[in-house]
Amino acid sequence: MNRFAFMMLVILATSLMGSSFAVGKIGLAYISPILLVGIRFTLAGGLMALWVRNKNLPVTSPDWLRLFVIGLFQTTGVMACIFLSMRTIPSGQTSILTFTNPLLVVLLGSLFLGLKYRAYQWFGVLIGITGVFITLGFHLQFSGGTLLGVGSALSWAIATLLVKQWGSRFSTWVLTAYQMLFGGLTLLLLSFTMESTKLILNTTSIGVILYLAILGSIVQFATWFYLLSKGDPGKTSAFLFLAPFFGVLSGWLLLGEVIRDYVYMGGLCIFLGIFLVNWTGRANNKDVLIK
């Protein structure tokens, strides 16, 4: 693949990741948060499950349980925290907090899986944490929305480590389809039992659902996994730092959210930290890659 085509696909995937925050916040005016993401991922996962129905599905109950657990963290935990947090903090801030997850992967992987990381990766963690502190206005305000934003990053980091442990058991497409489907169904169950369900169907809300399910989920995942298959996964994953940039930009364009000066400085530190965590440099095959 030539460099121009590669970069266009990177921009497509990361802009869809980032813009989903602002588009989702628009949907919150018509649909309760957990119900919105439940519909999104049940629809997206169901469509993908139909497509992969003949593609090496798991044959044992433990493997189906592993898919469910991955979906519980990757879809249910991440998306519930994201959309609940956006009720009280800007979508751009939620996207920045969520995409600090590679930094948490380094910390959790080192603590619980005994993974080894290079000095520049630990330096990236330090810079990233500093960036979060700056982005939040040089103070840590432990509001519910902020804690939920951190919770989304933590849940995503746990899911990443689970995929690292179990992912080789499944094809990429089966893993993607069923973790979305199981996570989406769990979100629907949580919505009906834990929140005051709101569903107003009109042109805007239906457009939001279709955007999030088709563009923000299926197209985004398909493009991203295609890029991973065509290039070095570690180097490709470094481009995830673009997603919070598009999250803040789309919040400004679609929602009129104000971008404070210190957010630029903090965001730059976060992007640099995530890049250092993901950068492979001239590492040999024994080095850890955060994907």
Given this model, what pLDDT does residue 243 score? 76
Rounded Cα distance between 93 and 21, Å, is: 10
Q: Quick one: tokens of 265?
A: 């400085």
* Cα(83)–Cα(26) distance, integer angstroms: 11
- How confident is the model at residue 78, as a pLDDT? 92
Q: Is 291 helix (H, G, I), strand (E, B) or coil?
A: coil
Residue 169 backbone zone (phi > 0: left; psi -120 to 50: alpha; other: beta): alpha
Question: What is the C-alpha to C-alpha distance for residues 126 and 138, in angstroms, rounded to an integer?
Answer: 15
Question: What gap in Å lies between CA 192 and CA 188, rounded to an integer?
Answer: 6
The predicted structure's pLDDT at residue 290: 41
Q: Around 30, how many Cα atoms within 13 Å sit in the side-chain half-sphere?
A: 14
* Residue 163 neighbours by CB distance under 10 Å: 19
Residue 119 buriedness (CB in 10 A; 0-12 / 13-18 / 19+): exposed
Distance between CA 84 and CA 77 in Å, rounded? 11
Contact by Cβ (8 Å): 24, 91: yes
Instruction: Tell me the backbone φ, ψ of residue 100, rounded to 5 degrees.
Output: -85, 5
Q: 199 - beta bridge partners?
A: 31
Q: What is the pLDDT of residues 259-278, one digit of tens each?
A: 777 777 887 887 787 778 76
What's the number of CA atoms in the CB half-sphere (13 Å) around residue 109? 27
Both tokens of residue 216? 């923000």
Q: What is the dihedral of CA 31, 36, 42, 44, to 10 degrees?
A: 110
User: How many Å from the N-terminal Cα to the C-terminal Cα in the chain?
Assistant: 21
Q: Give every residue of the chain whose pLDDT is below 50, as ranges.
A: 234, 282-291
At 155-187, the pLDDT tens digits run: 988 988 888 788 888 888 898 899 999 999 999
Between CA 29 and CA 26 the distance in angstroms is 6
